[in-house]
Amino acid sequence: MERLGAAIIGCGAVAEEYVKAFQKDERSEVRALVSRNPANAQRYRDRYNLHCAIETDAEKMLRMKDVDIVVVCTPHDTHTRYVVAAAEAGKHVIIEKPVALTMEDVRKQLQAVRRNQVKTIISFVLHWNPLLMSIDQLIEGGALGNIFMVEVDYLHRIWMTPQQKWLASGKQSGTAILTGGCHAVDALRWFARSEAEEVEAYQVKTENPIEYPGTISVNVKFQDGKIGRSATSFDAQMPYRFNIGVYGTEGSVRNDEVFAPKLFPGQNNFLKVPCILPDSAAVSHHPFTSEVAHFLDCIVGDQRPFPDLEDAAKTQALCFAADLSAESGRSVKISEFGKI
């Protein structure tokens, strides 16, 4: 079969994971790398023996007829112009999280994608982590009964270093919940199986030399009556942790421990699930190969990817509502951000 051509805009650390993922799948190959600094692209072309173009101008790459998929993994504040341009060029798009730093920019991307009918996937890559997949299957199979409360935390020590300078910038990176906590918010919505209705949040600024408060705690009311909680912290001196709690009338999950007597009659304590955990900040630990394979499946089979931009826009709205609540000191309804 003819391979789908991929181009990557932005050649930082995450780009390397996409290079490896496309190389591993016989349905695709990397045909262009785009970077303001050609040396960054050249290192990946040399390291992986790629036969691809290197461009400093994304517009030139978008005119390439053998490019079918564009990966946008540039700084957060630049996503929109590349996503819109890729959609207008008729390319399917992989968008690194967060999608954008304003709801206005999210809508611009949605309009371009809808108008040109291209497929998208947002790199909430933990959707393909074995633990989260197992929890999803427990929920879907009814093993936990009526789920009434969900909690997911993103606790990742990001104390500014010279190499992370752009992450310290509110203009380029956004806020703590947009920069990293959106992974937890995405999982919260996924496991809740309901859309957020109202949010109340609090934040705190420590001596961490980033421009924005590094810690935020969010309470969520969902449309079907569930409640949720999510905390993001870049400040705590601790190893990376992605905490998960799903609580139901017939069973519960706490990280990699499951209590589900419907599945295991006579169970009287939590059962530990031996699998790969999401507790690593290293991008090389994350399942980009599975994400890319899912996207290729959806393109070849003309299916809707998950999570796509339509779904991620709701995650973004929840994040924006949390930031607004923390800044204003009031609860915020998701409807304040208008129809998505």
282 pLDDT higher than 80: no
φ, ψ of residue 147 in degrees (nearest 5): -80, 125
For the chain, give percent helix, strand, coil, nearest 5. Answer: 40, 25, 40
What are the extents of the domains in the chain? 4-125+288-307, 126-280+315-337
Q: What pLDDT score was predicted for residue 166?
A: 83
Render pLDDT for 258-277 as a digit per residue (tens, 0 to 9).
999 999 999 999 999 998 89
* Rounded-to-integer distance, Cα 269 and Cα 112, Å: 51
Percentage above 70 pLDDT, the chain = 99
Domain 4-125+288-307 in CATH 3.40.50.720? The answer is yes
Average pLDDT over residues 85-107: 98
- Fold match flag (4-125+288-307 vs 126-280+315-337): no
Instruction: Count Cβ atoms below 10 Å from residue 303 Cβ, excluding itself.
Output: 11
Average pLDDT over residues 65-70: 98
The burial of 27, by beta-carbon neighbours within 10 Å (0-12 exposed, 13-18 middle, 19 or more buried), is given as middle
Average pLDDT over residues 273-290: 86
Determine contact, residues 317/337, Cβ cutoff 8 Å: yes
Q: What pLDDT score was predicted for residue 285?
A: 82
Average pLDDT over residues 220-241: 97
Determine contact, residues 142/280, Cβ cutoff 8 Å: no
Render pLDDT for 126-180 as a digit per residue (tens, 0 to 9).
999 999 999 999 999 999 999 999 999 999 999 987 767 888 888 888 999 999 9
* Rounded-to-integer distance, Cα 206 and Cα 72, Å: 32
Q: What three-state secondary structure class fits 2? A: coil
Render pLDDT for 29-65 as a digit per residue (tens, 0 to 9).
999 999 999 999 999 999 999 999 999 999 999 999 9
Average pLDDT over residues 208-229: 97
Torsion of CA 314, 319, 321, 326, to 10 degrees: 170
Render pLDDT for 23-33 as a digit per residue (tens, 0 to 9).
999 999 999 99
242 pLDDT higher than 80: yes
pLDDT band at residue 340 using 50, 70 and 90 as cut-offs:
confident
Average pLDDT over residues 76-102: 98
Q: What pLDDT score was predicted for residue 280?
A: 79
Find the distance separating the first CA and the last CA of the chain, reported in whole Å: 37
- CB neighbour burial string for 157-176, b if at least 16 within 10 angstroms, e if fewer: bbebeeeeeebbbeebbbbb
Percentage above 90 pLDDT, the chain = 91
H-state helical runs in the chain: 13-24, 38-47, 58-62, 79-88, 103-116, 130-140, 176, 182-192, 288-301, 309-328
Bridge partners for 53 per DSSP: 32
- Residue 209 corresponds to which amino acid? P
Pick one of 3.90.1300.10, 3.20.20.210, 3.30.360.10, 1.20.1600.10 as the CATH number of 126-280+315-337.
3.30.360.10
Stated pTM of the model:
0.96
**Count of alpha carbons within 13 angstroms of residue 9, beta-carbon side:** 27
Q: What three-state secondary structure class fits 204? A: strand
Of 49, 13, 43, 12, the C-alpha closest to 30 is 49
Distance set, CA 218 to CA 103, 132, 183, 268, 315 (Å): 19, 21, 14, 32, 13
pLDDT band at residue 1 using 50, 70 and 90 as cut-offs:
low
Q: What pLDDT score was predicted for residue 279?
A: 86
185 pLDDT higher than 90: yes
Average pLDDT over residues 102-126: 98
* Rounded-to-integer distance, Cα 231 and Cα 156, Å: 11
234 pLDDT higher than 90: yes
Q: What three-state secondary structure class fits 68? A: coil
Determine contact, residues 299/119, Cβ cutoff 8 Å: yes
Own/partner pairs for 23-28, CB < 8 Å, 24+ apart? Answer: 23/48, 24/289, 25/289, 25/292, 25/293, 25/296, 27/1, 27/3, 27/296, 27/300, 28/3, 28/4, 28/69, 28/292, 28/296
Mean pLDDT for the chain overall: 96
* Rounded-to-integer distance, Cα 137 and Cα 71, Å: 29
